[in-house]
Chains A and B, each alone.
Chain A
Amino acid sequence: MDFQVVVLAGGTSKKLVPLVSKEVPKALLPVANRPVLSYVLEQLELSNIKDLIVVVEGADAALCVGGWISAAYVDRLHVEVATVPEDVGTAGALRAIAHHLTAKDVLVVSGDLVSDVPPGAVTAAHRRHDAVVTAMICSVPVSGLSEAGSSGAKDKTKKPGRYNIIGMDPTKQFLLHIATGAELEKDTRIRKSILRAVGQMDIRADLMDAHMYAFNRSVLQEVLDQKDKFQSLKQDVLPYLVRSQLKSEILINGAPQGQQAKENGNDKVSYRILANASTPSFHELYALGPNGSAPVRRTHKCCVYIASNSKYCVRLNSIQAFMDINRDVIGEANHLSGYNFSAQNNIIHPSAELGSKTTVGPHCMLGEGSQMGDKCSVKRSVIGRHCRIGSNVKVVNSVVMNHVTIGDGCSIQGSVICSNAQLQERVALKDCQVLSLSTSVFLSLSSNEYL
């Protein structure tokens, strides 16, 4: 289909700092005991995309990611890993690999996207309109929501945050305005020319950019070449393309329309027949001269694909998101995890050992070779491989990674415990992140601290 796929796997994100480390870059963070990158790769594989370029920031991270991919996907995918220096941003990463891009369009996916939206939907919308860029947007995840009503979730008084302000045309096909990052705090400024051309604009604050873009390759390369200040796709390139859509500065050398019309008489007629037969978008109307003669203004189209509400689509870009995704993947969005759930709606690996009177509730996952003592209770949590958990331990709404040792009588709520951590007896953790590397915890901790 003449598409190339680039997965931006990132490096060691600052936002996720207690969880990620040199050994565990962001892409390999476990979500339901699988690296988060595997969700993207599998979704792509499901769509019959076999050739990928994975871009990783930092050489160490690239080594880790590359090693993992080659172990997990040998014979299944043709993956190439590109290493870019840290802190070049998403635009910088694409600039670094621009010479490898040859296809007509490029699909750029963030490596931390956990979603079941078929990528083909984005690319199809892109092709249908001959767009310069098509962005997938999804509704803002409601964080902390859990229908079980456990205490951990209720205490959080988090309202859905604002990620983007997105303006669309009434048909919800074209992107007219997008505000990200720092712009959110300022007043929203909308171009008059765009508003006048469209006539009506829907402005939504409950949607967010899911960081899956289809770009016209030549346009992307041109923008990256000319604007070398651009750091991020999301904050620089996309808003720039959206802003300038009615006074396009880019040369579309694929020449979707416009240029063809001038070639000769017959082509012009067939072009006119085609153009008249379809309902013109506001771009075409705007491009036309005052009396409907040949196009005088250059425009390009920026499209959106809105993921339907029934689809799951969240980015793992904060610790909260990490918790939410872990919970959802073994909970309501469990078709994503790729595991078979038991009748009790949980997954207990056959090699896991459970003590007597230990209960593992629904929406839980117990990894391979883990041992649990007596009278434990696990609710809505993920426990990794080869963990040793003493007796009388309560684990609620938490993520326990691999090789963790938890002493007797611990109570863990809403926390993340990274690999190789050790918890002594009677430790109570609430909303914490416990760093790995043989940290031993003696104290009881609460609310958003990490070691």
Chain B
Amino acid sequence: MDSRRSSRAVIDPKVRQVGFFTSAPLPPDRTQSDPPDPIRSPPLADASSPGNSLSPVMIPPPRHPSDSLLRLPHSPSDAFPPPSPTTTTTSLGDFSDDVTAASSPPPAAARVRGRGSSVKQQGAASSFPGGGFEVPPSVKAPSSVPASGLTTVSVVKLPPGISENAGGSVSVEVQSDRALNSKPLKEKTSKAERRAIQEAQRAAKAAAKAEGIKTPAVTALANAKSAKSTKPSPQRNDSAVVVAASEKKGGDRSVEKDRKKDVPHPRMQYDDKSRVQKLKKRSVVKPTEARNRVELFRHLPQYEHGTQLPVLQSKFFQLDTLHPAVYKVGLQYLSGDICGGNARCIAMLQAFQEAIRDYSTPPAKTLSRDLTAKISSYVSFLIDCRPLSVSMGNAIRFLKSQIAKIPISLSESEAKATLHSDIERFINEKIILADRVIVKHAVTKIRDGDVLLTYGSSSAVEMILQHAHELGKQFRVVIVDSRPKHEGKLLLRRLVRKGLSCTYTHINAISYIMHEVTRVFLGASSVLSNGTVYSRVGTACVAMVAYGFHIPVLVCCEAYKFHERVQLDSICSNELGDPDSISKVPGREDINHLDGWDKSENLQLLNLIYDATPSDYVSLIITDYGMIPPTSVPVIVREYGRGQLWIYEECDPLASPGRCSDAVFFVDGLIFYPSQHLVLSFWFPDRPPSGLNNDLLERSDNFVTVAENGNFTNFEL
């Protein structure tokens, strides 16, 4: 490991030139020393911070705008020509050229490019302000309509805000709104003033740092808030120096706080009575808890399913502050109309899109803060309806960070347009394009004569099967299903309609049917960083049987569903479904022996929704970053899990080698274009890298990273 490190250290400068570095774990001293000493030697830097966290993995990490600003000018222009209109051919490139040409000197241009298409959207929006969103006509029109035939006989004289609150609705939003209302009132200083104070504090801190930490008290401002800055906490000082980072972190922190206020902790222990009480007070749905709960799973929320829907329905008009689209999605979660990780995530994001479209910042509030609170209240409502999936959690985190990133100077319509396109981009790139890439990868694993087994209904697996069928591959599909949801039936129906040859069986027959199977394709709700696959209950069983028969298990999962959590079993975090659905068999009155089971004290039903498949049983995880072994999941989580967006472009480097002249190829299929920033595409590992034009690679002076079991080695070409 040590030798590898040193070897990496040798090529370190080059890496940095193309913008390969991690932003978050950067030790402060590096950044500090950077501007005055750009061509500093990496061993020295390493020595100054031994054990620093620069990761040994050389996958393109997320870049920070300020970082690229600092570093790009130093890149040798022969290896990586600075972006110019002639070299950029992608549509994105075209666009950022416009921006460059319009206003900025090269460093600023790099920054603009770093922010990629969000800038594009802003620009577009600013060119025709308010064009993207038409403000819907006010709903309260009747009062203002020329009263032809309408006579107002009774008027509520209270101002609308008060009357809404007085409606007696017990909603979280109202409370939180009030809280927010009161806050800005307290500190009535203008934005500019506050800003000035902050700047002053920051400057003071920086000065203190320069003088040394010996005399922190001296730097204390005469300001009332100076108490905080006098605390000689090294962490704070660090963050004060890395201005950009501290700003970003600060934003995140406030977001975090907001979320903590509104949303129950994802792994809240529901057997803790006082906490459950507290939660219930805030909850909109007011669920009644199920009485007979299995001992081992008491920490999970379980409610009587029959009661939730009517309560939520009857609250329809009370939930004034909820956007109708969000309400509808919540209702669909609760009633089970929408299930499946991708679908739930898309539905939620589209509802948020609508909510943002109809959103208008109330007076005396800033968009980013108020909207974050609003989204938080929506999220807590959705949690009331059904616990969030990991995919939704990641999507929400992304959305909130995008909101936090919106500069205050942006007008409301522009900000809304930006967010709208951000969400659109998330759906397109993290889900749809990711699925497409997964399909491309996975299809290579299907050969003629294969018998593929799948369990339940996974959208990714379905696309794979359909695409393979369209390619004309000859294979057979075994769909394994289970009670009570029978999701496989829907998949079966669609596949049979497409003309695939299918076998349908229940999970009871898994050990029999596994004899004839050659590959197992599974979907996942989430992949955790120890490689555990968190998926529909029954998946673990299928994977284990396949493992026993030495049949490869391929899990198809988009990278946005990855999570850094580590989970060893399916007990500590899971979701409980409606126990009635396993006790009752629809359409079979004659075998409903368990009628009225909940009156019996000594019977507990357990309807788990998910289970955890240990990574031992998983041969391969097919994700949008390529096909990786389960041990490599932490790498993906670390390198890509920071909520940034990548723009994938499906380009075949062999088809258009000219465009790949400055690309970095990774053996796991990733292509990175340093000069175009953020533009990634894929090539296909089954075609050997030697298929690439060798002199092309030499000319472009790039290097290839080889991934093996999560340990990455770099070598220069």
Contacts and interface: CB of A to CB of B under 8 A. Distances in A.
A48 B346 contact: no
B316 A277 contact: no
Nearest to B462: A276
A277 B338 contact: yes
Interface stretch (A97-105, A374-382, A424-432): A97-105
Contact of A127 (B148, B324, B338, B428): B324
Contact of B327 (A102, A127, A270, A308): A127
A53 B142 contact: yes
Contacts of A273: 340, 342-343, 346, 431-432, 459
Given A128-B331, A292-B498, A278 B310 contact: no
Contacts of A74: 154-155
B157 interface: yes
B490 A53 contact: no
Chain A interface residue bracket vs B: 35 or more
Interface stretch (B38-46, B133-141, B198-206, B262-270): B133-141
Contacts of A79: 152-154
B338 A124 contact: no
A270 B153 contact: no
Contacts of A66: 151, 153
A348 to B, nearest CB: 30
Interface string B331-355: 1100101111011101100100000
B320 interface: yes
A128 B332 contact: yes
A4 B462 CA distance: 42
B494 interface: yes
A1 B327 contact: yes
Contact of B313 (A120, A270, A279, A280): A120
Interface string A146-169: 000000000000000000000000
A30 to B, nearest CB: 20
B157 to A, nearest CB: 5
B152 A78 contact: yes
A276 B331 contact: no
Interface string B290-316: 000000000000000000001011111
A128 B337 contact: yes
A45 to B, nearest CB: 9
A69 B149 CA distance: 17
Given A81-B153, A103-B139, A292-B497, A276 B317 contact: no
B149 A277 contact: no
Contact of B151 (A82, A118, A119): A82
B163 interface: yes
Given A124-B331, A127-B324, A276-B459, A76 B154 contact: yes
B361 interface: no
Contacts of A102: 137, 139, 141-142
B149 A83 contact: yes
Contacts of B428: 266
B316 A120 contact: yes
Nearest to A54: B153
Contact of A75 (B139, B140, B156, B316): B156
Contact of B494 (A73, A119, A292): A292
B422 to A, nearest CB: 15
Nearest to A70: B153
Contact of B340 (A62, A73, A75, A277): A277
Contacts of A69: 153-154
B624 interface: no
B432 A270 contact: yes
Contacts of A128: 328, 331-332, 335, 337
Contacts of B310: 121, 308
Chain B interface residue bracket vs A: 35 or more
B145 interface: yes
Given A102-B137, A127-B324, A276-B494, A270 B431 contact: yes
Nearest to A271: B346
A124 B167 contact: no
A283 B383 CA distance: 30
A127 B331 contact: yes
Nearest to A128: B331
B66 interface: no
A128 B285 CA distance: 16
Contact of A276 (B141, B154, B315, B490): B490
A78 B316 contact: no
B246 interface: no
Contact of A48 (B143, B151, B158, B320): B320
Residue of A48, A78, A276, A277 contacting most chain B CB atoms (<10 Å): A277
Contacts of B459: 273, 276-277
B148 to A, nearest CB: 8
Given A80-B142, A292-B494, A125 B313 contact: yes
B494 A48 contact: no
A278 B339 contact: yes
Contact of A124 (B141, B154, B157, B316): B316
Interface in A52-95: 53-54, 62, 66-67, 69-70, 73-84
B427 interface: yes
B150 interface: yes
A370 interface: no
Contacts of A47: 314, 316-318
Residue of A3, A70, A278 contacting most chain B CB atoms (<10 Å): A278
B121 interface: no
A49 B316 CA distance: 10
A277 B158 contact: no
Contacts of B153: 54, 66-67, 69-70, 79-81
B457 interface: yes
Given A47-B318, A128-B337, A273-B459, A77 B156 contact: yes
B346 A270 contact: yes
B432 A76 contact: no
B155 to A, nearest CB: 6
B156 A124 contact: no
Given A53-B150, A66-B153, A270-B431, A277 B342 contact: yes
Contacts of B462: 276
Nearest to A272: B459
B320 A1 contact: yes
A261 to B, nearest CB: 13
B323 to A, nearest CB: 9
Contacts of A48: 167-169, 317-318, 320
A87 B153 CA distance: 23
Contacts of B431: 270, 273
A274 B346 contact: yes
A69 B457 CA distance: 56
B324 A2 contact: yes
Contacts of A120: 313-318
B706 interface: no
Nearest to B167: A48
A88 B378 CA distance: 44
Interface in B247-295: none
A316 B381 CA distance: 38
A81 B149 CA distance: 8
Residue of A83, A102, A269 contacting most chain B CB atoms (<10 Å): A269
A121 B340 CA distance: 26
Nearest to B341: A277
B571 interface: no
8 contacts: A1-B316, A1-B324, A51-B142, A80-B143, A120-B318, A124-B313, A276-B340, A278-B339
Given A66-B151, A78-B143, A102-B137, 12 more contacts: A2-B139, A47-B314, A53-B150, A77-B156, A80-B152, A121-B313, A124-B312, A127-B327, A269-B432, A273-B346, A274-B343, A276-B491
Interface of B: 137, 139-143, 145, 147-158, 163, 167-169, 310, 312-320, 322, 324, 327-328, 331-332, 335, 337-340, 342-344, 346-347, 350, 427-428, 431-433, 435-436, 457, 459, 462, 490-491, 494, 497-498
Q: Lowest 5 CB-CB distances: which A-B pairs, in order?
A: A120-B316, A277-B343, A118-B314, A124-B313, A277-B340
